[in-house]
Amino acid sequence: MSGHDTPIPMTSSKCGPLSGVAQVPGDKSISHRSLILGAMAVGETRITGLLEGEDVLDTAKAMRAFGAEVSQHGPGEWSVHGVGVGGFAEPENVIDCGNSGTGVRLIVGAMATQPITATFTGDASLNKRPMGRVTDPIALFGAQAHGRDGGKLPMTIVGAAEPVPVTYTVPMPSAQVKSAVLLAGLNAPGKTVVIEKEATRDHTERMLAGFGAELTVEDTNEGRKITLTGQPELTPQDIAVPRDPSSAAFPVCAAVIVPGSEITVPGVSLNPTRNGLYTTLIEMGADIAFENEREEGGEPVADLRVRASETKGVEVPPERAPSMIDEYPILSVVAALSTGTTVMRGVKELRVKECDRIDAMARGLEACGVTIEEDEDTLIVHGMGQGGVPGGATCKSHLDHRIAMSFMCLGMAAQNPVSVDDGAPIATSFPVFEPLMAALGANVTRDS
Ligand code: S3P
């Protein structure tokens, strides 16, 4: 099993105003998809701005194992020589996706309609996560899955030798499941239809169209209906990966909660399937200006100018959850430093992320002196106002990068330092978090 052998305990303590420019790394979702679609195209896809976090590097290794030639040419500059739709080779070894649910679920989808067998594993976090959500739909294409403990990794997938196209309604709001079905549909003859009741991030649809697949998207009574014509020849692309709005969330929220701060975060995606946090922060009274709105790498982006603000609690509409699903942990930190109560309903998907994020945030915030209410699908944070959180606790990160970074941001604005037992998972999505936050003026240190 993969994973970090040595935990990295970290502490964040109160700092002066944050200032400067935060150049956050490339988008994780788009980085995974660039490598996978590049591997399924015929010829060379060139990528700039690729996130070189552990999750994406594991996907790069996996694409090599399936026969693509994947090379790094400089920081963030990569090329993929693809093998074409249906051209994957059978890997010689187990595919280790590390901490990455996106990596494993998308790759399982991509190989499920090819006549090969592959075994997947991950770290202690990934091996606990539900995989039935992808093995159910790939079975309809004709693939077989043999997993541990009713559908967990390690798992062997026997790809369908003669796949059939499917029509599938995704039972939970999940871009990973939608994408796994679409990637499987690439090598099935005829039309594969995916229906999602709630719109989730749409990078796979946008990128499939960019690679030349025939794909239509319609809003219907049943939901958003995506129809893909199978067995296209995908044309290699030049991809400029935009910066990750989910990583930008950490310096943005840190600047909101640390009094006197003013920072700029350039090139943040305003893709409506990803920008729910920014809408919510503005409703809470955060001072965020969107400057130089433009298009980069096929995504609408803007430079965010963020000033520290006295924020107030809000009720986050449940239908906004898919567009900010990864941002609830850091939102709960802003909520703790706001006046009034913040109610987050419709968030049960948080329980099956890299860890149970409702439980991890609730326990850590409580340890820092914040009053929390929760049920299966809800997190409620009773705010203590700017500077009002006592802090002074060590919180567990549960192998979850976003939990570790959220508590490090809390430490910047709490009365006493906040520690995490293990900050190592931060490297999965935001390897430059520590130097980037230090350059803005934060005190985040590794404990010896
Ligand atoms: C992702 C989809 C989301 C998100 C994850 C990345 C993707 O997961 O939480 O970090 O790239 O498709 P779900 O599809 O499980 O909601």
- The CATH number of whichever domain residue 156 belongs to comes to 3.65.10.10
What is the CA 224 to chain-centroid distance, rounded? 21
What is the CA 264 to chain-centroid distance, rounded? 22
212 and 305 belong to one structural domain? no
Instruction: Give the pLDDT score at 185.
Output: 98
CB 47 within 8 A of CB 78: yes
User: Crossing angle, helix 28-40 and helix 54-65, to 10 degrees?
Assistant: 10
The radius of gyration computed from the CA coordinates of the chain, to the nearest angstrom, equals 21
The binding-site residues of ligand 1, defined as CB within 6 angstroms of any ligand atom, are 29, 102, 174-176, 179, 201, 325-326, 349
How many domains is the chain built from? 2
pLDDT in tens, 187-245: 999 999 999 999 999 999 999 999 999 999 999 999 999 999 999 999 999 999 999 99
282 and 418 belong to one structural domain? yes
Number of helical (H) and strand (E) elements in the chain, helices listed first: 12, 24
130 and 204 belong to one structural domain? yes
Give ∠ CA 59-60-63 in degrees, rounded to 5: 85
220 and 333 belong to one structural domain? no
Cα(248)–Cα(347) distance, rounded to whole angstroms?
A: 21
Among 198, 229, 260, identify where a domain stops: 229
Name which of 439, 351, 377, 363 is nearest 406 in CA terms.
363
260 and 175 belong to one structural domain? no
37 and 22 belong to one structural domain? no
**Cis before 115? omega within 30:** no
What is the CA 154 to chain-centroid distance, rounded? 22
Helix (H, G, I), strand (E, B) or coil at 444: strand
Residue 4 lies in a domain: no
Segment holding 152, helix H or strand E: strand 152-158
CB 374 within 8 A of CB 360: no
Catalytic-role residue among 326, 400, 421, 447: 326
**Bind-site residues for 3-phosphoshikimate:** 28-29, 33, 174, 176, 326, 353
Among 177, 204, 229, identify where a domain stops: 229
Instruction: Give the pLDDT score at 448.
Output: 78
379 and 287 belong to one structural domain? yes
Q: Beta 223-229 vs 191-196: how paired, if at all?
A: antiparallel
Please list the ranges in the chain whose pLDDT falls under 50: 1
Domain range spanning residue 379? Answer: 10-26+242-446
Residue 263 DSSP label:
E
176 and 293 belong to one structural domain? no
Instruction: Give the pLDDT score at 3.
Output: 57
46 and 109 belong to one structural domain? yes
**Bind-site residues:** 28-29, 33, 101, 129, 174, 176, 326, 353, 357, 402
Helical residues (DSSP H) of 17-118, grouped into ranges? 28-40, 54-65, 101-111
Q: Both tokens of residue 297? A: 């790498």
Among 207, 229, 251, identify where a domain stops: 229
Instruction: Give the pLDDT score at 1.
Output: 40
22 and 62 belong to one structural domain? no
pLDDT in tens, 281-332: 999 999 999 999 998 877 899 999 999 999 999 999 999 999 999 999 999 9
58 catalytic per annotation: no
Instruction: Give the pLDDT score at 4.
Output: 63
**Residue of 102, 106, 430 with the most ligand 1 atoms within 8 Å of its CB, for mutation:** 102
CB 442 within 8 A of CB 15: yes
Q: Both tokens of residue 25? A: 């790394």
